[in-house]
Structure 1
Amino acid sequence: MSIQIVTDSTVQLTEEELADLPITVVPLIVRLGDKEYLNDGKDITNVEILSHLTGDEELPKTSQPSIGQFLDVFNDIGDAGDEVLCLNLTHHLSGTVNAARQAADISETKVTVIDSLSIDRGLAFQVITAAKMAKNHAPLENIINAIDLHRQNTEIYVFLNTLENLIKGGRLSRTAGGIANLLHIKVVAELKDGALQVAAKGRGKRFLNKQIDELVSRIQLLSPAKVGLTHVDNLTQASEIANRIHESLPNTEVTIHEAGPVISTYTGLGALAVEFYTD
């Protein structure tokens, strides 16, 4: 019996990582009007969602995978004689992990479900390590300990042009950080203990650029093992940051990703996430 890793589609993985590692991704759902799409990179693409963020009267709506989606995956893995370690995005942003837990209770497969308290490339750091260890037949206890270490040493910052989408989507309260009447200010949000918090706010691009410069300088001092940059139609800035980190930290792995439809819906155009893990 081997351990198979299951996660959800808010994870940010490369095609190579998916091809090389024992990972199954269960997609969340995106709704545009009366139509539903799987957030699987195929049903609706990262590029296709962009026009809906600005051109539609209402924001796209998202929902967690159904219990049945998880149950089918868990049962298929169990039928093959394997067990499951399921890692999901933080419960503060979605009920996905609870759906996975309910499916685990129903399935006859041995399933361990973990709340990553993370999302996007931060979730990927945990998933990749778990999958590599599982591929090398590490015991479940050792994998869980490694995941815990990642959770304690991962930082995620999101640079936003507006909080409007997060507030409309219910992922941030209107009173958080004293921004009730300041929807159009620039914001730096931090994922702390699994919840999004306003870390800094100001006006104009100069404010955001200053905050990014300070974070890049901090990364250069910390010399993390891995850095992930996820953007919503903001490749130019993501590439500039990646180049700056590469110049000073040639041994640090830096990856650039387009945000998927679910994350784009809540962050809005021009958003940029900087995520890193220190050993």
Structure 2
Amino acid sequence: MAPLSIQIVTDSTVQLTESELAELPITVVPLIVRLGTKEYLNDGVQITNAQFLSHLANDDELPKTSQPSIGQFLEVFDRLGENGDEVLCLNLTHFLSGTVNAARQAAEMTDTKVTVIDTLSIDRGLAFQVITAAKLAKNGAPMENILAAIDLHRSHTEIFVFLNTLENLVKGGRLSKAAGGIASLLHIKVMAEVVDGELQVAAKGRGKRFLNKQLDELVERIKMESPAKVGLTHVDNLTQASEIANRIHEALPNTLITIHEAGPVISTHTGVGALAVEFYTD
């Protein structure tokens, strides 16, 4: 089998299924999670989601996250380029992590030809771009075609996150109190939206009734717009994610719907009970 000309690299905030990872030319570079003095790769192996959730719920100190090192990216770029392949590296939005900057620095150091893209996305929204890029690369598409396709995905993807509290986002520095317009009201319920790569508060209120109303309205909108792909990511909230998936599937049986368990990096910043609804419309 001839080597692929373009290899796809991404980071571990992406939500991919096992079959997608097995079938497509995708390499995932893990971010890092710290629990007290211990450091783990966010790769699903060194610490599982279940183990991490126990720490998130019970530890006094909030876990810390950090981007992959330049060296992690450099090792991957060097290895993938050994046989002359080119690399396209798609990373989560720079508003939430310095990962894309680490990838850019590594790209300047390697002999491999590397193109680094800030997807201005995260989670399953990031996956939409990564999967499309990998499928095109697997079929031998040139770089300019792949870049045009992921640009289209970026402009046609919407990401909404439903949060029981903003406390973790504020503590982790991913959302300022001023930006949230919340002062000390950290325990209000929030619907946030990723807008041009930045997490913004779209609506806020009190009680689960508020969140359920926002979710209901979003589900009705999804039914009307009939997106090609819907991703649901939850933090220890499978029951609600499954219920929403069933509601969408009943109305749109041809829409691809996937449910994912959030990894440690996303869980750290959203908190337990969070739910993300992400969809791509042609």
Query: What's the counterpart of residue 118 of structure 2?
Result: 115
Normalising by structure 2, what TM-score? 0.98
Query: What's the counterpart of residue 133 of structure 1?
Result: 136
What pairs with 1:179-258 in structure 2 (closer than 5 Å)? 179-258=182-261
Q: CA–CA distance in 2 between the matches of 1:48 and 1:89?
A: 24
The structural deviation recorded for 1:99 is 0.2
Query: What's the counterpart of residue 95 of structure 1?
Result: 98
Residue of structure 1 aligned with 2:109, choices 106, 109, 112: 106
Query: What's the counterpart of residue 70 of structure 1?
Result: 73
Q: CA–CA distance in 1 between the matches of 2:257 and 2:20?
A: 14
Deviates more, 1:54-63 or 1:160-169: 54-63
Normalising by structure 1, what TM-score? 0.99
Query: What's the counterpart of residue 26 of structure 2?
Result: 23
Q: CA–CA distance in 2 between the matches of 1:180 and 1:235?
A: 31
* Structure 1 residues without counterparts, runs of 5 or longer: none
The structural deviation recorded for 1:145 is 0.2
* Structure 2 residues without counterparts, runs of 5 or longer: none
Letter in 2 for 1:72: E
Q: CA–CA distance in 2 between the matches of 1:177 and 1:70?
A: 33
Letter in 1 for 2:181: G
Q: CA–CA distance in 1 between the matches of 2:99 and 2:83?
A: 24
Q: CA–CA distance in 2 between the matches of 1:2 and 1:80?
A: 9
| Structure 1 runs of 4+ with >3 Å offset | none
Give identity over the alignment, percent: 82
How many residues are matched?
279
Q: CA–CA distance in 1 between the matches of 2:113 and 2:14?
A: 23
Whether 1:155 and 2:154 are equivalent positions in the alignment is no
The structural deviation recorded for 1:178 is 1.3
The structural deviation recorded for 1:80 is 2.4
Letter in 1 for 2:173: G
Query: What's the counterpart of residue 279 of structure 2?
Result: 276
The structural deviation recorded for 1:73 is 0.2
The structural deviation recorded for 1:118 is 0.2
